[in-house]
Structure 1
Amino acid sequence: MTQRRPETNRARRIERLATLPLFHKLEGRRVVLAGDSEGALWKAELLAATGAELHVFASGGPEPFEALAAASSGGRILVHARNWQADDLAGAALAIGDIEDEAQIRAFVAAARQAGAPVNVVDKPDFCDFSFGTLVNRSPLIVAISTDGAAPVFGQAIRARIETLLPAGLKAWAQAAKDWRPALQARELPFALRRAFWELFTGKAMAAAERAPDESDRAALFAALDQIEGSGDGTGRVSLVGAGPGDPDLLTVKAIRALQSADIILYDDLVSPGVLELARREAKRMMVGKKGYGPSVKQSEINALIVSLASQGKHVVRLKGGDPGIFGRAGEEIAACKAAGLPVVIVPGISAAQGAAASLGLSLTHRDHARRLQFVTGHARSGDLPEDLDWRAMADPHATTVIYMARATLSGFRDRALAAGLDPATPAIAVQAATLPGEARVTATIATLPERLRELPKGGPVLVMVGHALGEAHAGTSSRSGRRSA
């Protein structure tokens, strides 16, 4: 068998960005706003909140802006009751115009660009260097949403959804992070310890998002940091993380947090690109492919790599398709970590069986048909069908059996199970790439399914489910448009 070395620094998949989201520091800086409409007033309110020195040029008179100027406690608001001039744009950090006449728009844009100021013309995206997104304000925590002008109402609906997910108390936690950062920086800690502090901070903030932090929170966090620093011996840690069956939406919150705190991610072939997109951008990714009946990195090499990297003080995330504790060889990796004295945690994931059943709209333990759910592997270390399976259990008419890695050995499984008494008419389903857009399936009986596996695309993970609880899918009631149901 050809040995495959771990792949490192694989090119990251970056989706095209319609616009690049940036956050401008405007406090004390000159910003020019031309216009006197309701839209201009809204822009003035937003810009004043940044602490900018805002110059408003309102040819219709200063009245719309007088109350705002009087009430502003952030930056200075200077209202000029005249049209703008090119010299007014000198030194401007931003230029915003609420202008309707196209000739005036073109002149304003040209003058702003000549002055080196990014320009925005309200509701005229073709003339804009930047746009104003929809904001979720927990300042200094700010979330900006943009649809590139395509659907503002859609952006507002997303904002409303995010508003419900971010308690108002996070504003105080974000401010605490800003206030406490200088004390952390003064300690001149290595990156790993600084990141450990912010991970602790984040965990505490998310657990107590409804209230503002106090001095006891600060003291507890710095005490925890002292403990980590005092016990620091260069040892890292290992997280065995379940990536689920493929759909990124099925990741657990804990899995996402692990991915966001990883230094290095060792991932399998079965992990979808969408899952990797949720990882921390700075994390190094290494593919340690485990592909049945094809070139693979040996398990012993993966074990050694995990130990070596974590021993350098890294947080190593071992990312596995499905659940790491179900035919994911987690036991061998846990043993290697414990032998090396490395702390290791398991983050469970949605199993492939659960994902496939959900995609099919089935209950694997329908009480009218199944008393037991059993997961078995389709091949032993040698790659052959395991000889020590309990074939009477495989033939149990009241069990649902899920067979992992069964593409090459299903005919042998079928023959042994039928010989043990399994009804040849028992419904059986093979699912490939469950929960992903390319999901394909074959619905048959256990007697005929092995020969029909050739209807599935070559390569890719195949899961086989057998049992009378699958009867509804066997009858074709759960077929989905765009997916193969044979």
Structure 2
Amino acid sequence: MGVLQKLPNEPTPRTAARVEPLAKLPVFWTLEGRRVLVAGGTDGAAWKAELAAACGATVHVFAEELGETFAKLVAAGVSHPKGQFLHERQSWESCDFDGLALAIGDLEEDDEAEAFARAARAAGVPVNVIDKPAYCDFQFGSIINRSPVVVAVSTDGAAPILAQAIRRRIETLLPPSIRLWASLAQSIRDTVNARLQPGAPRRAFWEAFVDRAFRDAPGADAEADLQEQLSRSSRPQEPPVGRVTLVGAGPGDAEYLTLKAVRALQAADVILFDDLVSDEVLELARREAKRMLVGKRGGRTSCRQEDINQMMVTFAKAGKRVVRLKSGDPMIFGRAGEEIACLERAAIPVDVVPGITAASAMAARLGISLTHRDHAQSVRFVTGHSRSGNLPADVDWKALSDARTTTIFYMGGRTAPEIRQRLLAEGMTARTPVVIVSAVSRANERRWIGNLDTVANGMEEIGLDEPVLIGIGSVFGDAQERDRNALPEQSRKRNSARA
């Protein structure tokens, strides 16, 4: 008998919020030519002072004595032409806060830290006392410096080591040459704004720029090439025709998105998304993009395919970059063929960004190879219902009953009893392993493991509220042992049921 497994995490409610709650507002502060006060001569104070001076600030250091690191730093100066240190060999006073941009202190005693913070706030100066969050108006993040590109990571003080680990990951994604491209962007920005209209023409120029920035280091003729590209872009042209990109959102977990999918979401003007696309995926989209839910969920009222096609054509002819965001992979049971044909008839450029299909995610979650050479020489993805909602009439059930084939039924929840009946009639053994997974990769994922004979019981326990995959074949024989190791309590229940 199969056993229902409900994973411990609860699903995240779907909301209409465009921005999730923030622990702190990330702000990049201009300090060039302004004054910053640093109290203390420690290594920690030296690091904060160096950051401020590198931004062009005049840093007033109040400390009767400086540690070795700070003393060497003050003696050497800084590389920024306008940043400098002024060592005040005395303790700070309230009058020293007048006209400051920031105040930073490394103060060991709480009473001194409290007095420092009170004096700064009385003067209207944002304050940070190192390692004493109660006296901080702002915090320093873990910094990735590709100036003028600057990235800062914060965990709101909860896990500085985690912030450092995230910084290292981002460091590997940002080539050192990105600073050169950013400087080029600064040099031509005003010219671009003057010569190209806001909206699609300007964004198309910058998107081409970004593609180059992440591909190659700029050569000596890079600026000349950009100026030529700008000249071509500013010449009178026909009204722009947009394009449509069919993007696979994967089964739900946003970390399954490809880099190309994220780039498409960040460039979109309009996003037409299915009901199965998760909020976490939408959170990665461009904030200004118009988002439209177009349904497309099995067994429920949804937007007609003809209406979706017309929306894509209308938006694209208006010059918009449209993303048709589909759960899983667009080319697997996603009606992508109909949409591509419609767009081609309307002369709308269309491309496709593949996504991780649900069957692949299910196999990864279970740790099962769908084509394990000891069990299966082929794998088939089969739709579990036709347009009428019944089993498709033209399925080769004899081929699907082959013991050397792994079969994954998509959208087969309602037809599971008929699937069982057809396969048994073609000679498949009743003890053939079966796995049913609903909401694969999501927080509310559920699993049932059993055999072909009891698959209808499994569907009764799993239910039809979420998308369901039914995996049938001997490759799933190891799933029970794997889940016994991962979920010992559930395994004990399974063993008890079988006993």
TM normalised by structure 2 equals 0.89
Cα distance in 2 for partners of 1:443, 1:173 equals: 53
Deviation at 1:68, TM superposition (A): 3.9
Matched, 1:294 2:300: yes
Tell me which residue corresponds to 2:370: 364
Matched, 1:85 2:93: yes
Query: For 1:71-125, what per-residue CA distance to the aligned partner results, in whole angstroms no more than 9, with x for missing partners?
Result: 7633233222222222221121111122234333233222222222111112211
Kindly indicate whether the alpha-carbon contact (under 8 Å) linking 1:265 and 1:316 is maintained by their aligned counterparts in 2. yes
**Aligned partner of residue 144 in structure 1, secondary structure:** strand
Deviation at 1:148, TM superposition (A): 2.0
Deviation at 1:197, TM superposition (A): 1.5
Query: For 1:387-418, what per-residue CA distance to the aligned partner results, in whole angstroms no more than 9, with x for missing partners?
Result: 11112222222211111100111211222222
Kindly indicate whether the alpha-carbon contact (under 8 Å) linking 2:382 and 2:408 is maintained by their aligned counterparts in 1. yes
Q: 2:136 aligns with which of 128, 132, 136?
A: 128
Tell me which residue corresponds to 1:149: 157
Cα distance in 2 for partners of 1:95, 1:284 equals: 42
Query: For 1:345-383, what per-residue CA distance to the aligned partner results, in whole angstroms no more than 9, with x for missing partners?
Result: 000001111000111111111112212211111111111
Structure 1 stretch displaced more, 73-82 or 372-381: 73-82
Tell me which residue corresponds to 1:310: 316
Structure 1 stretch displaced more, 90-99 or 316-325: 90-99
Kindly indicate whether the alpha-carbon contact (under 8 Å) linking 1:45 and 1:68 is maintained by their aligned counterparts in 2. no
Deviation at 1:61, TM superposition (A): 7.0
Kindly indicate whether the alpha-carbon contact (under 8 Å) linking 2:205 and 2:233 is maintained by their aligned counterparts in 1. no
Cα distance in 2 for partners of 1:351, 1:277 equals: 20
Tell me which residue corresponds to 1:33: 38
Tell me which residue corresponds to 1:55: 60
What is the 5 A alignment of 1:317-336?
A: 317-336=323-342
**Structure 1 residues 213, 459: CA separation in 2 closer, same or farther (over 3 Å shift)?**
farther
Matched, 1:194 2:199: no
**Structure 1 residues 469, 105: CA separation in 2 closer, same or farther (over 3 Å shift)?**
closer
Kindly indicate whether the alpha-carbon contact (under 8 Å) linking 1:197 and 1:221 is maintained by their aligned counterparts in 2. no
Tell me which residue corresponds to 1:175: 183
Deviation at 1:261, TM superposition (A): 0.7
Deviation at 1:232, TM superposition (A): 4.4
**Aligned partner of residue 470 in structure 2, secondary structure:** strand
Tell me which residue corresponds to 2:460: 454
What is the 5 A alignment of 1:68-467?
A: 68-69=76-77, 73-208=81-216, 211-216=217-222, 218-219=224-225, 222-223=228-229, 226=232, 231-467=237-473
Deviation at 1:474, TM superposition (A): 4.8
Which amino acid is the alignment partner of residue 61 of structure 2?
V
Cα distance in 1 for partners of 2:477, 2:66 equals: 75
Structure 1 stretch displaced more, 341-350 or 364-373: 364-373
Q: How many residues align?
A: 476
Cα distance in 2 for partners of 1:476, 1:38 equals: 51
**Aligned partner of residue 380 in structure 2, secondary structure:** strand
**Structure 1 residues 457, 115: CA separation in 2 closer, same or farther (over 3 Å shift)?**
farther
**Structure 1 residues 61, 302: CA separation in 2 closer, same or farther (over 3 Å shift)?**
closer
Cα distance in 2 for partners of 1:160, 1:166 equals: 10
**Structure 1 residues 376, 66: CA separation in 2 closer, same or farther (over 3 Å shift)?**
closer
Deviation at 1:139, TM superposition (A): 0.7
Kindly indicate whether the alpha-carbon contact (under 8 Å) linking 2:413 and 2:464 is maintained by their aligned counterparts in 1. no
Query: For 1:163-206, what per-residue CA distance to the aligned partner results, in whole angstroms no more than 9, with x for missing partners?
Result: 23322222222222222212211214222122112211111111
Cα distance in 2 for partners of 1:483, 1:206 equals: 48
Structure 1 stretch displaced more, 330-339 or 345-354: 330-339
Deviation at 1:220, TM superposition (A): 5.2
**Aligned partner of residue 207 in structure 2, secondary structure:** helix
Cα distance in 2 for partners of 1:125, 1:236 equals: 49
**Structure 1 residues 406, 61: CA separation in 2 closer, same or farther (over 3 Å shift)?**
closer
Tell me which residue corresponds to 1:4: none
Cα distance in 2 for partners of 1:409, 1:69 equals: 75
Kindly indicate whether the alpha-carbon contact (under 8 Å) linking 1:442 and 1:484 is maintained by their aligned counterparts in 2. no
Cα distance in 2 for partners of 1:326, 1:385 equals: 17
**Aligned partner of residue 26 in structure 2, secondary structure:** coil
Q: 2:27 aligns with which of 11, 22, 27?
A: 22
Kindly indicate whether the alpha-carbon contact (under 8 Å) linking 2:343 and 2:350 is maintained by their aligned counterparts in 1. yes
Cα distance in 2 for partners of 1:234, 1:68 equals: 56
Tell me which residue corresponds to 1:6: none
Deviation at 1:483, TM superposition (A): 10
**Aligned partner of residue 271 in structure 2, secondary structure:** strand
| Structure 2 residues not aligned, in runs of 5+ | 1-13, 495-499
**Aligned partner of residue 448 in structure 1, secondary structure:** helix
Which amino acid is the alignment partner of residue 150 of structure 1?
A
Q: Taking every aligned residue pair, what percent have the same amino acid on both sides?
A: 49
Tell me which residue corresponds to 1:3: none
Structure 1 stretch displaced more, 475-484 or 404-413: 475-484
Query: For 1:290-345, what per-residue CA distance to the aligned partner results, in whole angstroms no more than 9, with x for missing partners?
Result: 12111111111111111112221111111111100000011111112112111110
Cα distance in 1 for partners of 2:231, 2:474 equals: 55
**Structure 1 residues 164, 412: CA separation in 2 closer, same or farther (over 3 Å shift)?**
same
Deviation at 1:162, TM superposition (A): 2.4
Kindly indicate whether the alpha-carbon contact (under 8 Å) linking 2:42 and 2:66 is maintained by their aligned counterparts in 1. no
Cα distance in 2 for partners of 1:267, 1:301 equals: 13
| Structure 1 residues not aligned, in runs of 5+ | 1-8
Cα distance in 1 for partners of 2:309, 2:56 equals: 54
The higher relative CO (CA closer than 8 Å, separation ≥ 6) is in 2
**Aligned partner of residue 469 in structure 2, secondary structure:** strand
**Structure 1 residues 355, 319: CA separation in 2 closer, same or farther (over 3 Å shift)?**
same
Cα distance in 2 for partners of 1:89, 1:290 equals: 61
Query: For 1:239-296, what per-residue CA distance to the aligned partner results, in whole angstroms no more than 9, with x for missing partners?
Result: 1000111111111111111111111111111111111111112222111111211111
Kindly indicate whether the alpha-carbon contact (under 8 Å) linking 2:153 and 2:167 is maintained by their aligned counterparts in 1. yes
**Aligned partner of residue 214 in structure 2, secondary structure:** helix
Deviation at 1:155, TM superposition (A): 2.2
Which amino acid is the alignment partner of residue 32 of structure 1?
L
Kindly indicate whether the alpha-carbon contact (under 8 Å) linking 1:473 and 1:479 is maintained by their aligned counterparts in 2. no
**Aligned partner of residue 316 in structure 1, secondary structure:** strand
Kindly indicate whether the alpha-carbon contact (under 8 Å) linking 1:266 and 1:319 is maintained by their aligned counterparts in 2. yes
**Structure 1 residues 363, 66: CA separation in 2 closer, same or farther (over 3 Å shift)?**
closer
Cα distance in 2 for partners of 1:435, 1:71 equals: 49
**Aligned partner of residue 408 in structure 2, secondary structure:** strand
**Aligned partner of residue 207 in structure 1, secondary structure:** coil
Deviation at 1:38, TM superposition (A): 2.4
Kindly indicate whether the alpha-carbon contact (under 8 Å) linking 2:271 and 2:323 is maintained by their aligned counterparts in 1. yes
Structure 1 stretch displaced more, 98-107 or 56-65: 56-65
